[in-house]
Structure 1
Amino acid sequence: MANVLITGATGLVGGHLLRMLIQQPEIARITAATRRPLTTIPAEVHNPHDPQLTDALAQVDDPVDIVFCCLGTTRREAGSKEAFVHADYTLVVDTALTGQRLGAQHMLVVSAMGANAHSPFFYNRVKGEMEEALIAQQWPRLTIARPSMLLGDREVRRTNESLLAPLFAFLPGNWKSIEARDVARALLKEALSPQKEGVNIITSAKLREIAASQA
């Protein structure tokens, strides 16, 4: 039985993952730290919340075995480069540090295809810097998921994704778009699989493969 901490539970991947965790008998306790309170969740899900997610994380005191971070936005949604860095770098690192404070041994994070700390593209560079920061924390086990374009019903539609989704559906390999629920399914499978020490980077094509094996 495992105790888990999840951030990003109000998002596309995180919402699917939270619902899967609730149905998973191998999960003993779920702590979902969010900016706004969750709705329609079982009483056994602990939901510390605060508009400042870091303050919500500071409220978590119970031991944790596994940490999931499904935070992610775009520069347009965030409103500025600084706000994007705060959401996709700072809060991810804060999630990881909270997990380490609570004794977690396995961190799983949703990054992005193309993540590279030396990329000339701002989005990919921030994602890569985030990955490097987590690797530097020297987790016993760190799983980094790099999905392609995510498919699913968002509360707020992203124009670029709506326009490009039909194209990405026909691209090969890692470029092919992926359902958010499949990313969540793959993360859960990896979290509950036998221990694989060190850093494990999972490409989008591999995420689809893992998810298909659980269907």
Structure 2
Amino acid sequence: MANVLITGATGLVGGHLLRMMVQEPRITRITAATRRPLPDKFVDVINPHDPQLTDALAQVEAPVDIVFCCLGTTRREAGSKEAFIHADYTLVVDTALTGQRLGAQHMLVVSAIGANAHSPFLYNRVKGEMEEALIAQNWPLLTIARPSMLVGDRDKRRLNESLLAPVFSLLPGNWKSIEARDVARAMLNEAMAPAKPGVNVITSAKLREIAAGQA
């Protein structure tokens, strides 16, 4: 039985993951720290919320075993380079630090294909720097999911994804677009039955394979 903490529960992957966790009998308690309140249907989910997500995380006091971070945006969506870095780096690290404060032993995070701290591209570089920061925290178990382009119904459509989705659906292997629910399903599986101690990087093709085995 596990107590979990999740950030990003109102997003594309996190929304699927939250709905799956509510139905998962091996999870005893779910704490979802969010900027805005969750819908009323999640009555059994503990939901500290604040427009400043760091302040919502500070409200969490109950011990947790597993931490999920499904935060993610783009520079265009965030509105500035600084806001993007805050969302995709600072808040992810804050989530991890909160988990460690509460005794968690396993951290699972949504990163992205192409994550590389030395990339000339801001998106990939920030994702890579985020991964390096989490690795430096020395988690007993750290699972890094690196999906390709995510497919699913967002509250706000992203222009680049709308234009490129048909192309990515035809690409092979790790580059092929992936359903957000498959990423969520694979992450939940890894949380309940982790592959091995240490750092585990799961490619997009592997995420799809794991999800297919759980469908």
Out of 33-42 and 169-178, give the one that drifted further.
Answer: 33-42
Pairwise CA distance, 1:207: 0.2
Cα distance in structure 2, aligned partners of 1:195 and 1:104: 17
Partner in structure 1 of residue 54 of structure 2: 54
Runs (4+) off by over 2 Å = 40-43
1:196 shift after superposition: 1.5
Structure 1 residues 122-141: aligned runs within 5 Å: 122-141=122-141
Q: Map 1:1-215 onto structure 2 (within 5 A).
A: 1-194=1-194, 196-215=196-215
**Which one is further off, 187-196 or 135-144?**
187-196
The alignment yields a C-alpha RMSD, in angstroms, of 0.7
> Structure 2: how far apart are the matches of 1:122 and 1:173?
24
Q: Deviations over 1:176-195 (max 9, x none)?
A: 00000000000000000056
Query: Aligned partners of 1:63 and 1:120: how far apart in 2?
Result: 39
Amino acid at match of 1:35: R
TM-score (norm 1): 0.99
Per-residue deviation, residues 124-167 of structure 1 (Å, max 9, x unmatched): 00000000000000000000000000000000000110111011
Q: For 2:186 and 2:49, locate their aligned partners in 1 and report how far apart those are by CA, in whole Å.
A: 26
Shift of 1:41: 2.9
State the aligned residue count: 215
Q: How far apart in 1 are the matches of 2:196 and 2:98?
A: 22
Gap regions ≥5 residues in structure 1: none
> 1:44: Cα distance to partner?
1.8
Which consecutive residues of structure 2, in runs of 5 or more, have no partner in the other structure?
none
| Superposed CA offset, 1:20-49 (max 9, x none) | 000000000000000000003332200000
Deviates more, 1:185-194 or 1:11-20: 185-194
Cα distance per residue 1:25-79 (max 9 Å; x no partner): 0000000000000003332200000000000000000000000000000000000
State the TM-score, normalized to the length of structure 2: 0.99
- Residue identity over aligned pairs, in percent, reads 84
Structure 1 residues 81 and 214 mapped into 2: Cα distance closer, same or farther (>3 Å)?
same
